[in-house]
Amino acid sequence: MKIVLLGYMASGKSAVGRLLAKTKNLNFIDLDNYIEQKENNSISAIFSKKGEIYFRKREAEYLKEILNLDIDCIISLGGGTPCYGNNMQLILENATSFYLNASIATIFNRLKHETSQRPLVAAIGEANLQEYIAKHLFERNLFYQKAKYTISVNDKTIEEIANEISLKLHTSF
């Protein structure tokens, strides 16, 4: 069993994934961390040194590699992962997917203090961040909506979100 958590950056994919993996006694794989280990470089450094096209190609290869692993696991994706190549199709064919749906306001409030750690928003600045999030969400929503389940994360704790996912998993298997 592979469970994939997708959604925009700061929607809680990694935090929820870690908790869910712990409660379900499953392996947890954060795709960004996996890429960093394989590439021996940070995501920010990969973007700045080799560019987004290189990153997206490698990201797709590593996603496929993880989906082909012979282990049950929870996988948290980068915000853009489902939107490139045939990544979303691979996810739908090989895993149970959950879109962690966060509002623009929720994402903005979470991101405004950590833009330096996020390569795609680092250069934008707080003044333009909300518009940037809205534009990105609009572009990516088509892909996110293809997930098997959508979970609203606004005003919920990590535990509440993980419990909601657990309930959906329990009723679908």
Residues 6+ apart with CB under 8 A from 24: 74, 166
pLDDT top residue among 128 and 101 = 101
DSSP string, 45-99: HHHHHHHHHHHHHHHHHHHHHHHTSSS-EEEEPPTTGGGSTTHHHHHHHHSEEEE
CATH for the stretch 2-157: 3.40.50.300
Per domain, the residue ranges of the chain are 2-157
Global pTM reads: 0.93
Each residue of 38-85: pLDDT tens digit? 999 998 899 889 999 999 999 999 999 999 999 999 999 999 999 999
